[in-house]
Amino acid sequence: MQHGKYRFIAGFLALPLIIYAIFVISPFIQAFQISMTDWSGLVGTSKYVGLDNFERLWNSDDFWNALRHNIYMLAAIPVVTLAMGLFFAFMLNVGGRRRKNEVVGGVTGSKLYKLVFFFPQVISITIIAVIWFNIYNPDPQDGMLNSLLGAVGLDSLQNAWLGEKSLALICISAVMVWSNVGFFVVLFSAAMASIPREIYEASLLDGANRIHTFFRITLPLLWDTVQTGWVYMGIIALDAFALVQIMSVNMGGPDGATDVMPLRLYQTAFRDSQFGYASAMGVAMLVVTMTFAVLTMRFARRERIEF
């Protein structure tokens, strides 16, 4: 009977696993193979070079510069995005004032706020990049940000933004936070909706304030969702290709201040026709991403709380 059950399960899984192996596992294996070659992208030009591409990568200042920017984004963007998502979700679900019919509830107009926060998720990342590129336009007349600063008398704060080496990456990171925080507001709101209201009501009746309620009830019960969101947001931070390509000066400028690993890989492959070297970068990105995911799942692990 057991053997029949296993055959039945295997029969259903066989086709999906084959498709997954062809379209997901196979490209990874091919990337490893290509990274061991000096291939220009043309048929018949592949030459096996062993680990030379990885040695070249190790000694490349451009690669380490791009990796440093990705690590900065990896350290900052998930923290800011998830913190804002948690705060807004908490306020929209349980952070409002007490009403006659309910002890726990969100702020007035919470449904409308959720729609507004989620709006960037329905816009293409390309459109978002173009919109913010024009907002950061340094022209005081055409650039919305500089024009707004001038209108309120803060001309001294006007800047080149994307053209300023010390600000360019921060500006792009801010756009990444803005475009993703709404997703986590909705995600955390859905998770908070599953927490019994009686728990909040009991804590408030015992004298707990909103801060205690958040750190002692909401955050522990949402930790699994936060952990998953951290990995997801970390992967987004390690990418950043579309925003950097469209918004940065000369694709990664000024002077390499916004260069990131995916953009470096793209330029190496499709501009310089060094597909073997670019594949080595892809393998390095895979290692960094997997290391981040494993460390996050390992050190953010907590005992599961059930209610």
- Which of 299, 113, 304, 296 shows the shortest CA–CA distance to 222? 304
Stated as kind and residue range, the H or E segment containing 63 is helix 61-93
Judged against a pLDDT cut of 50, whether residue 1 lies above it is answered with no
* Ramachandran category for residue 153: left, alpha or beta (phi over 0 → left; psi -120 to 50 → alpha): left
**pLDDT class of 90 with cuts at 50, 70, 90:** confident
Domain boundaries, the chain: 55-299
- Cβ atoms of 155 and 149 within 8 Å: the answer is yes
- Cβ atoms of 216 and 208 within 8 Å: the answer is yes
**pLDDT class of 174 with cuts at 50, 70, 90:** very high
Please state which of the ranges 43-57, 160-174, 277-291 shows the lowest mean pLDDT: 43-57
The listed CATH number (1.10.10.10, 1.10.8.100, 1.10.3720.10, 1.20.1260.10) that belongs to domain 55-299: 1.10.3720.10
- Which of 238, 110, 117 shows the shortest CA–CA distance to 178? 117
Judged against a pLDDT cut of 90, whether residue 175 lies above it is answered with yes
Q: How many CB atoms lie within 10 A of CB 271?
A: 10
Q: What pLDDT does 15 receive? A: 85
Which positions ≥6 away from 63 have C-beta within 8 Å?
Answer: 57, 261, 264, 281, 284
Q: What's the rounded mean pLDDT across residues 176-199?
A: 86
Entry pTM: 0.84
